[in-house]
Structure 1
Amino acid sequence: MDEQDKFAIWIAASTLRSGNREIDALALDDIAQQVRGSGDLERELAAMRQFDRRGGDFGAEIVGAVVIPILIEAGKQLWAAYLKKLTDKAAGQLADVTADEVKALVRGRWSRVDESARADFETFLRAEAVRQGLSEAQTEGLLAALHQPGMPSEIAKA
């Protein structure tokens, strides 16, 4: 799993847990475990989208199958934006930035004093939700998770 994928999974899981979407967060944890073996996040996300719907399903599986890829893509966009900030700051000296380094930058910019990371992620998340056809109500539900009191503590976790 590359550093961008690690970061995207981390920010997506933090968002899901902040929004009390523990079932989706557990599904994402399972995907992350599969990616550790296969090394291919896109393939694992595609497999998640191809689930078999059975009688008795209440739609939660469908929501997760839609929401998780949106969060992952928005996380990748946030990664790219903050990777650029790090490399610009270091005048291009960083060849191999790790997910932990970008996480540290995001953590520092997610506080109540400086909410730029949250605002950046919200922008990327809203755009990706529109691009992938998520309903306005579902989009607002995801965005609300970013403003929950528990989100900073989720971000603070490794």
Structure 2
Amino acid sequence: MRTLISEVDILARVRELAFQIAADDSTPPVVLGILNGAVPFMMELLRQFPEDYAQSADWDFVDASSYAGEVSTGIVKIDRGPVMDCSGRPVLVVDGIVDTGRTIDAVLRHLHTLSPSTVRVATLLDKPSRRVVSVPVDYCGFEIDDHFVVGFGMDVDQRYRSLRFIGVVDDDTEV
């Protein structure tokens, strides 16, 4: 495995994104993380928001996925929607990576049934070369090439999520 993005670079970029998000909308949103991959990015984003903004932001999770190991199944399952009331409120959907776009698309379609005032999307990693569904990405930490990545929430069958950097899995011997 090789390092693609260091912990230092991740933390610096998340801080920039947090201030950009707060500057773009003075009303703190419901921050909605997509389990499990978004958790480290979302928690760091919440920590980096300006303090008054962070204290007013609510947060929740949605459980949606389309991966089995390293392969997208193409079918998105939403096993848990947000518990928090999103009606009439701004929502910031947070994901660890936008790849094919299917997961974000399914989450956005589900969210629109809950009548939020606005919906924005933040992702730590974006792989536009893999996109099969056009989805909005309002805030992107890093645009990456088509590598299978792990760390900072991304995994292979639940392994490597806790790495503090983004690594590239170069061959099958590493998984």
TM-score normalised by the chain length of structure 2? 0.30
Choose between structure 1 and 2: higher strand proportion.
Answer: 2
TM-score normalised by the chain length of structure 1? 0.33
Choose between structure 1 and 2: higher helix proportion.
Answer: 1
> Higher relative CO (CA 8 A, sep ≥ 6), structure 1 or 2?
1
